[in-house]
Amino acid sequence: MATTAAPSGARPVNTTSASGSFNGKVQHIKIASGYATAIFYGDFVKLVAAGTVEKDTGTTTLTPIGIFLGCKYTDPSTNQMTFNQQWPASTVASDAEAYIVTDPNVVFVMQSDAAIAQTAIGANFAVVQTAGSTSIGRSKNAVDGSTVATTNTLPLRIYDFWTGPNSAVNDTYTDVIMKFNVGHQYVNTTGV
50 and 114 housed in the same domain: no
Percent of the chain, pLDDT > 90? 79
Whether residues 28 and 92 share a domain: the answer is: yes
Res 17 pLDDT > 50: yes
Kindly state whether residues 91 and 117 are assigned to the same domain.
no
More confident site: 59 or 192: 59
Residue 1: per-residue pLDDT: 46
The mean pLDDT value for 85-95 works out to 97
Judge whether 191 lies within some domain: no
pLDDT at position 19, please?
Answer: 65
pLDDT for 133 equals 95
For residues 78 and 97, membership in a common domain is answered with yes
| Full 3-state SS string of 87-112 | ECCCCCCCCCEEEEECCCCEEEEEEE
Task: Note the pLDDT of residue 167.
Answer: 79
User: Considering the domain boundaries, does residue 171 fall inside one?
Assistant: yes
Using the predicted structure, report yes or no on whether residue 11 has a pLDDT greater than 60.
yes
- Is the per-residue pLDDT at 4 higher than 90? no
Where is the domain boundary, 68, 101, 134? 101
Q: Where are the alpha helices (DSSP H) in the chain?
A: none
Q: How many domains does the chain have?
A: 2
Asked whether residue 134 is domain-assigned, the answer is: yes
Do 67 and 33 reside in the same domain of the chain?
yes
> What is the residue range of 145's domain?
105-180
Residue 104 burial by Cβ neighbours in a 10 Å radius (0-12, 13-18, 19+):
buried
Classify residue 192: in a domain, yes or no: no
Q: Do 169 and 127 sit in the same domain of this protein?
A: yes
What pLDDT, on the 0 to 100 scale, is given for residue 20? 63
CB atoms within 10 A of CB 163: 15
Using pLDDT thresholds of 50, 70 and 90, give the confidence band for residue 14. Answer: confident
Q: pLDDT by residue (tens digit) across 114-173?
A: 999 999 999 999 999 999 999 999 999 999 999 999 999 999 999 999 888 777 788 788
Q: What is the pLDDT of residue 24?
A: 67
169 within domain boundaries: yes
Does the pLDDT of residue 46 top 60, yes or no?
yes
